[in-house]
Amino acid sequence: MSKRKELKLQKQKQIMEENGIIYLDNVTKAYSKGSPAINGITLNIYRGEFVFIVGDSGSGKSTLIRLLLRELTATSGSVYVMGQDLAQIKHRKIPTFRRNLGVVFQDFRLLNDRNVYENVAFAQRVVETPNREIRHNVPAVLATVGLAGKYKAKTTQLSGGEQQRVALARALVNNPSILLADEPTGNLDPHNSWEIMSLLEEINQRGTTVVVVTHNREIVNTMKKRVIAMKKGVIVSDMEEGIYDDNEED
Ligand code: ADP
Ligand code: MG
């Protein structure tokens, strides 16, 4: 290994050890002139944490998630995920980087012309998992989300809660270190919302770092996790065993 590469790896290791699996260093993201969507955020999320991100619509939550996915790049400051400075990742390395991340959205984003099995298998095919492993992994992850019997079903025949569980299975099948969920229960009734949150908690207990953007006050107040509240692009509070505080939501 070259001296330069060695130094680079050393520096990454240092960032990993001193900071979180997710580390934002004074990050600003502006889409255009005017007030930025993210305005000078510094934040550490450590390996194995479960974190809620709350805040009004427009406060920058989805922008934050998209920065972590490297769908967006910061206007200034640095975003590190697993010790990697995302601004330094070459375009052709982005897919490899994203294997570390599972992601779930409010609107499920399933392939509706394919059945449940294929929706989950697809995520494995993209990363060129051998078929033999896919045939093992997909049923296993579907069982984890309580859909073992539904693998042949069309996604359009499933309830919202079931569709989100398929999306969750797809996010998990490649065994990511981090799971990002952007309002995963936004389209679900209270019962299904709880089912999804319980699954997220279970996944977290097995070691995955989980970051959940949500508006669900009851869930946040009951689960007693770390709660980061955002307002107009800044973090206005960050509490262990936090609550969804109305005063920050004006
Ligand atoms: P949240 O997820 O908390 O509702 P967003 O991160 O989606 O907030 O948006 C934060 C701010 O950035 C809002 O003012 C929004 O209008 C703006 N914004 C979000 N996405 C874009 C975009 N693609 N282009 C321009 N402005 C955007
Ligand atoms: Mg959003």
pLDDT tens, position by position, 22-57: 999 999 999 998 899 999 999 999 999 999 999 999
Q: Does 250 score more than 60 pLDDT?
A: no
DSSP 186-248: TTS-HHHHHHHHHHHHHHHHTT-EEEEE---HHHHHHH--EEEEEETTEEEEEETT----GGG
Q: Give the chain's length.
A: 250
- DSSP secondary structure of 141-184: HHHHTT-GGGTTSBGGGS-HHHHHHHHHHHHHTT--SEEEEEST
- Residue with the two structure tokens 């390996």: 47
Q: Ligand 2 centroid vs 152 CA: distance in angstroms?
A: 32
For ligand 1, say whether the CB of 55 is within 6 Å of any of its atoms: yes
Contact 167, 108 (CB under 8 A): yes
Q: Write the pLDDT tens digit of every residue in 177-206.
A: 999 999 999 999 999 999 999 999 999 999
Give 120's DSSP letter: H
| Residue 163 pLDDT | 97
Q: Give pLDDT tens digits for 145-157.
A: 999 999 999 999 9
pTM of the model: 0.93
Predicted confidence (pLDDT) at residue 249 exceeds the cutoff of 50:
no
Ligand 2 mean position, distance from CA 191 (Å): 22
- 73-83 pLDDT, tens per residue? 999 999 999 99
The rounded Å distance from CA 205 to ligand 1 centre is 32
Q: Which residues surround ligand 2, an ion (CB under 5 A)?
A: 61-62
Nearest CA to ligand 1 atom 20: 63
Q: How high is the pLDDT of residue 103? A: 97
Beta strands in 7-131 (DSSP E): 22-29, 38-45, 50-54, 76-81, 84-85, 101-105
pLDDT at 109: 96
Q: Which ligand is nearest to the CA of 182?
A: 2
Distance 61 CA to ligand 1 centre (A): 8
- Closest Cα to atom 15 of ligand 1: 58
- Tell whether the model's pLDDT for residue 10 goes beyond 90: no
**pLDDT reported for residue 247:** 62
Q: Which atom of ligand 1 is nearest to the CA of 64?
A: 6
Residue 11 has pLDDT above 90, yes or no: no
Q: How confident is the model at residue 13 (pLDDT cuts 50, 70, 90)?
A: confident
Bridge partners for 154 per DSSP: 115
Rounded mean pLDDT of the chain?
Answer: 94
As a whole-number percent, the residues of the chain with pLDDT over 90 amount to 88
For residue 5, is pLDDT > 90? no
Which ligand 1 atom is the nearest neighbour of the CA of 182?
2
